[in-house]
Amino acid sequence: MPKFKDYYAVLGVQPRSHARTIEETYWSRAHELHEELHAEPTKKLQKKLNQINEAYEVLGSPHKRAAYDRKRFDAAGLDRGPARPSFFESFVMVLSKPFRPD
């Protein structure tokens, strides 16, 4: 099983960070690496820039970020607790209880 990539650590932000914070962090880190890459291009800097781009591609999109967070949660092996009933199941449970006018 491949190791799960932690894109939050790659960008250096918290998992509960606002989308704007993620975007600002991405642009500042990418700008710094881009300038360093022009000064002395190395494969290590290019690899870091590619990792940051990959992380932002996932975390910059709300839908991709939500899917990533679900996968990240499952990869951590955390228990989500008891499953919540769907709206339809809740509706059926309410209707199946006897009506008691008080």
CA dihedral 31, 9, 3, 42 (to 10 degrees): 30
pLDDT in tens, 23-35: 999 999 999 888 8
Residue 58 contacts by C-beta under 8 Å, 6 or more apart in sequence? 7, 64, 65, 68
Q: Which residues 6+ apart lie within 8 Å of 22 measured at CB?
A: 11, 13, 56, 59, 60
pLDDT of residue 1: 37
Domains of the chain: 7-96 (1.10.287.110)
Distance, in Å, from the CA atom of 96 to the CA atom of 51, rounded to the nearest integer, reads 53
What is the pLDDT at residue 38?
Answer: 79
Give pTM, 2 decimals.
0.67
The residue behind tokens 């290590």 is: 44
pLDDT, residue 35, reads 81
Quick one: residue 51, left, alpha or beta (phi over 0 = left, psi -120 to 50 = alpha)?
alpha
Rg (the chain; Cα; Å)? 22
